[in-house]
């Protein structure tokens, strides 16, 4: 989706490797030219509504300056502020904190990370999941991040967990993810 988005703006081409073209990510003013229909045409599906609304809201809050302000906030406060945007929950907010705001303490937890955490870091949870239907809720989401920061430390914990995540979902990771705490 991001490749199609970037390629949709003429003049964003930055190079080619092995016959594949690469494009710079669009600026906020460029993104604001896209409406929900254009985003759907680029393959964003249900995300198109959230993205279009969030782009307008980001622009109204000061655009890039607002993101720079968020990057100077403590992680917990930035995550909370990001969740005010349309369609942004804890996982997406933590993805933004980790991947875009340089907050290495952020631990994005999705279904794969929940399964990995249950198996490797909270060995009693799978029984409770099976018997009582436990699901990933706000309390468990925060507990996973806290546990991983306790194991890996606060510097780069989000990236450490992303390596474990990649081992879970990518074929090269079959049987590879075995770091326990």
pLDDT tens for residues 26-84? 999 999 999 999 999 999 999 999 999 999 999 999 999 999 999 999 999 999 999 99
Q: Which of 61, 91, 135, 156 is catalytic?
A: 91
The pLDDT of 12-31, averaged and rounded, is 92
DSSP output for 50-66: HHHHHHHHHHHTTTHHH
pLDDT for 14 beyond 90: yes
- CA 148 to chain CA centroid, Å, is 17
The H or E element containing residue 13 is strand 13-17
Distance CA 25, CA 5 (A): 8
pLDDT for 165 beyond 70: yes
Spelled out in words, what is the top-level CATH class assigned to the domain 1-60?
A: mainly alpha
Q: How many residues comprise the chain?
A: 181
In this structure, what DSSP letter does residue 17 have? Answer: E
Q: Can 80 be counted among the known catalytic residues?
A: no
Tokens 């403590």, residue located: 74
pTM of the predicted structure, to 2 decimals = 0.82
Q: Give the pLDDT band (50/70/90) at residue 135.
A: confident
Q: What are phi and psi of 37, to 5 degrees?
A: -65, -40
DSSP-based three-state secondary structure for 1: coil
- pLDDT of res. 51: 94
Q: For residue range 85-124, list pLDDT tens digits in order.
A: 989 999 999 999 999 999 999 999 988 888 888 888 888 8
The pLDDT of 149-176, averaged and rounded, is 77
Contact assessment for residue 68 and residue 25, using Cβ atoms and an 8 Å cutoff? no
β-pair partners for 17? 20
The pLDDT of 158-180, averaged and rounded, is 66
Domain boundaries, the chain: 1-60, 62-102, 111-173
- CA 113 to chain CA centroid, Å, is 12
More confident residue, 169 or 9: 9
Closest CA to 103 of 141, 164, 166, 154: 154
Q: What are phi and psi of 178, to 5 degrees?
A: -140, 15
Helix (H), strand (E) counts: the chain: 11, 2
Distance CA 58, CA 71 (A): 14
The pLDDT of 129-145, averaged and rounded, is 84
């Amino acid at each position: 989706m991001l490749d199609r988005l970037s390629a949709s703006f003429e003049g964003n081409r930055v190079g080619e490797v092995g016959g594949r073209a690469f494009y710079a990510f669009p600026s906020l003013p460029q993104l604001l030219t896209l409406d929900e229909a254009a985003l759907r045409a680029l393959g964003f599906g249900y995300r198109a509504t959230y993205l279009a609304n969030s782009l307008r809201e980001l622009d109204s809050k000061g655009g890039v300056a607002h993101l720079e302000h968020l990057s100077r906030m403590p992680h917990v406060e930035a995550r909370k502020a990001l969740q005010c945007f349309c369609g942004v929950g804890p996982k997406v907010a933590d993805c933004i904190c980790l991947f875009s705001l340089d907050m290495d303490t952020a631990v994005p937890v999705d279904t794969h990370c929940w399964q990995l955490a249950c198996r490797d870091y909270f060995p009693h949870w799978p029984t409770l999941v099976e018997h009582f239907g436990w699901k990933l809720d706000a309390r468990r989401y925060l507990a996973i991040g806290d546990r991983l920061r306790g194991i890996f430390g606060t510097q780069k914990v989000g990236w450490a967990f992303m390596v474990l995540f990649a081992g879970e979902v990518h074929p090269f990771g079959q049987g590879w993810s075995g770091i326990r705490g």
